[in-house]
C-alpha cells in the first residue's frame, strides 16, 4: 500500500474543496488511508501533516498497523476534541468533514469544538480516490475472487434436494474461511424455486427440491476487500422454460461483459443487457441495474443502471449481473467481476458459467 501517494492524492483535492485540512472519520476511508482495522480511529490531513487519532484501547494496534506517514495521537477526551486541538494548532481556517458520515448532532458539536475554524461539508472525497484500484488492491481483490471461484466449485458437489438454503449458506461461509476469507462480504443469497424471484432472497429455512433453480449470490472478504459472484444452477434436468430464461440471462451478461470499456457510460453499459432481455420478452422482469463497483465495500460507485452517472475509466472494478425474476415461479441471475482496463475489461471471475445451465 502506497500511503504517501494516497495522502498526496487527498491533499491535491484540498484546493478545489477550498479547505486547508480535512478530517476523515468513516472507518472504511480511515482504513484506506492508514491501514487501520480497529473500531475507533480518525485521520486529520493538512497541507503538510497527517495525524492518526485513536484511543488507548488501540494504542498497540495503531503502532503496528499505521504507517509512519502519520503521527499517531492517543486521544484522552475523545477523537473530535483531539482533532479540534490539532486543527487549531495547525492554524487552519477551513476544514472539511465527511457529510455522509456525520450526523447533524455530531456536526453541531464539531462546530463548537473547532471554532473559529469553519467546518465545510464535503462529499465522497476519499471514496472518489477509492474508485480506481492500485496494484496492491488488485492483488487482494483477485485473491477474494479466487476464494469464491473455488467455493462455487465445491458447492456444486454438495447441493442436493433436502438441504435447506441456510445449510447451503453455512457451508459456503465455512469454505470461504477455510480459504483465508474473514467472512462473507454480504448476507449470502441462496434462493431456490419460487424464492429465486427475490433478487435479494437471503438464505432461508426452505428446503431445496428436485427441479428447483437455485440462485447463489456470494462474496468473500479478504484483507478488507470484497468479491461478488452469482450463479444459477438447476437441481435436475431443466425444463425448456428454465433453459430459455437462463440462456437469455447468459447472453445478456456475456454481451454486456464484452462491451465494458473506458468511455462507455454507465447508462450505456446497462442498456446492452437490458435490450437483450427486453427483446426476449422479459423486460419487466429485470428491475435492477446491471452492476456496481466493488472494493472495500460491496457496493461502491460507479452504478451501472438506467440512472447511472458518468463513464467507465481504467482501474474501476465493476460487477455485471443481469437477471430475470418471474414472481411465484423462478429467477435467474449471473454475475462476474470485471476490471476496466485501458482497452476494455478483464473478467476476474473464473467460476463456471456455461451457456447451458449447470444441471446437478
pTM exceeds cut of 0.85? yes
Which CATH topology does 135-359 take? Creatine Amidinohydrolase (3.90.230)
The CB-based long-range contact list for 100-105 (8 Å cut-off, 24+ gap) reads: 100/26, 100/124, 101/25, 101/26, 101/29, 102/25
Give the mean model confidence (pLDDT) for residues 215-229.
98
Instruction: For 20-71, write each residue's pLDDT tens digit.
Output: 999 999 999 999 999 999 999 999 999 999 999 999 999 999 999 999 999 9
Among residues of the chain, what percentage have pLDDT more than 70? 100
Q: How far is residue 161's CA from residue 45's CA, in Å, rounded to a whole number?
A: 56
Gap between the terminal Cα atoms of the chain: 42
In contact, 163 and 135? CB cutoff 8 Å:
no
Cell of 43: 485521520
The alpha carbons of the chain give a radius of gyration, in whole angstroms, of 23
Helix and strand numbers (H, E) in the chain are: 11, 20
Cell of 297: 465495500
Point out the least confidently predicted range of 74-83, 138-147, 199-208: 74-83
Q: How far is residue 200's CA from residue 186's CA, in Å, rounded to a whole number?
A: 11
Instruction: For 132-186, write each residue's pLDDT tens digit.
Output: 999 999 999 999 999 999 999 999 999 999 999 999 999 999 999 999 999 999 9
Strands 317-320 and 336-340: antiparallel
> What is the band of 112 on the pLDDT scale with cuts at 50, 70, 90?
confident
Secondary structure element (H or E) that encloses residue 35, with its range: none
Instruction: For 257-279, write each residue's pLDDT tens digit.
Output: 999 999 999 999 999 999 999 99
| Domain 3-130 bears CATH identifier 3.40.350.10 | yes
Instruction: For 85-111, write each residue's pLDDT tens digit.
Output: 999 999 999 999 999 998 888 888 888
Strands 42-46 and 21-24: antiparallel
CA atoms within 13 A on the CB side of 163: 21
Whether 1 shows a pLDDT value over 80: the answer reads no
pLDDT at position 114 is 85
Cell of 163: 438441504
Give the mean model confidence (pLDDT) for residues 227-237.
98
Which residues are CB-neighbours of 42 under 8 A, at least 6 positions away?
23, 24, 25, 30, 52, 53, 54, 79, 80, 83
CA atoms within 13 A on the CB side of 238: 23
Which residues are CB-neighbours of 279 under 8 A, at least 6 positions away?
none
In contact, 21 and 96? CB cutoff 8 Å:
yes
Angle, CA of 168, 173 and 177, to the nearest 5°: 150
For the CA atoms of 228, 141, 122, 83, the dihedral, rounded to the nearest 10 degrees, stands at 120
Q: Where in the chain is the domain with CATH 3.90.230.10?
A: 135-359
- DSSP-derived secondary structure for 88-131: HHTT-SEEEEEGGG--HHHHHHHHHHHTTSEEEEE-SHHHHHHT
CA atoms within 13 A on the CB side of 335: 29
For 162: left if phi > 0, alpha if psi spans -120 to 50, otherwise beta; the answer is left
Instruction: For 303-349, write each residue's pLDDT tens digit.
Output: 999 999 999 999 999 999 999 999 999 999 999 999 999 999 999 99
CA atoms within 13 A on the CB side of 235: 21
Whether 121 shows a pLDDT value over 90: the answer reads yes
In contact, 217 and 291? CB cutoff 8 Å:
no
In contact, 308 and 301? CB cutoff 8 Å:
no
pLDDT at position 113 is 83
Q: Where in the chain is the domain with CATH 3.40.350.10?
A: 3-130
Q: How far is CA 234 from CA 40, 190, 203, 251, 313, in A?
A: 46, 13, 17, 18, 36
Amino acid at each position: 500500500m502506497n500511503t504517501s501517494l494516497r495522502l498526496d492524492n487527498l491533499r491535491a483535492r484540498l484546493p478545489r474543496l477550498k479547505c486547508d485540512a480535512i478530517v476523515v472519520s468513516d472507518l472504511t476511508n480511515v482504513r484506506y488511508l492508514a491501514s487501520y482495522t480497529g473500531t475507533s480511529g480518525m485521520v486529520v490531513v493538512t497541507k503538510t501533516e497527517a495525524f492518526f487519532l485513536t484511543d488507548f484501547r488501540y494504542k498497540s494496534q495503531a503502532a503496528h498497523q499505521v504507517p509512519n506517514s502519520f503521527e499517531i495521537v492517543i486521544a484522552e477526551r475523545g477523537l473530535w476534541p483531539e482533532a479540534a486541538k490539532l486543527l487549531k494548532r495547525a492554524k487552519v481556517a477551513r476544514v472539511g468533514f465527511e457529510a455522509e458520515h456525520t450526523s447533524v448532532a455530531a456536526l453541531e458539536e464539531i462546530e463548537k469544538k473547532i471554532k473559529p475554524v469553519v467546518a465545510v461539508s464535503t462529499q465522497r472525497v476519499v471514496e472518489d480516490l477509492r474508485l480506481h484500484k492500485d496494484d496492491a488492491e488488485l492483488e487482494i481483490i483477485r485473491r477474494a475472487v479466487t476464494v469464491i471461484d473455488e467455493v462455487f466449485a465445491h458447492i456444486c458437489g454438495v447441493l442436493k434436494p433436502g438441504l435447506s438454503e441456510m445449510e447451503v449458506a453455512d457451508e459456503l461461509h465455512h469454505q470461504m474461511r477455510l480459504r483465508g476469507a474473514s467472512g462473507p462480504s454480504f448476507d449470502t443469497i441462496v434462493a431456490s424455486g419460487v424464492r429465486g424471484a427475490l433478487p435479494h432472497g437471503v438464505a432461508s429455512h426452505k428446503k431445496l427440491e428436485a427441479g428447483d433453480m437455485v440462485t447463489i449470490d456470494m462474496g468473500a472478504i479478504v484483507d478488507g476487500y470484497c468479491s461478488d459472484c452469482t450463479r444459477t444452477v438447476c437441481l435436475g434436468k431443466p425444463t425448456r422454460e428454465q433453459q430459455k430464461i437462463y440462456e437469455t440471462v447468459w447472453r445478456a451478461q456475456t454481451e454486456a461483459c464484452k462491451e465494458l470499456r473506458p468511455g462507455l457510460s454507465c447508462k450505456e453499459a446497462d442498456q446492452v443487457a437490458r435490450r437483450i432481455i427486453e427483446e426476449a420478452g422479459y423486460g419487466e422482469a429485470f428491475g435492477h441495474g446491471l452492476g456496481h463497483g466493488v472494493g472495500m465495500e460491496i457496493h461502491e460507485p460507479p452504478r451501472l443502471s438506467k440512472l447511472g452517472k458518468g463513464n467507465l475509466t481504467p482501474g474501476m472494478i465493476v460487477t455485471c449481473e443481469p437477471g430475470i425474476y418471474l414472481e411465484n415461479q423462478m429467477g435467474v441471475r449471473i454475475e462476474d467481476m470485471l476490471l476496466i482496463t485501458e482497452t476494455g475489461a478483464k473478467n476476474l471471475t473464473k467460476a463456471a458459467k456455461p451457456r447451458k445451465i449447470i444441471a446437478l
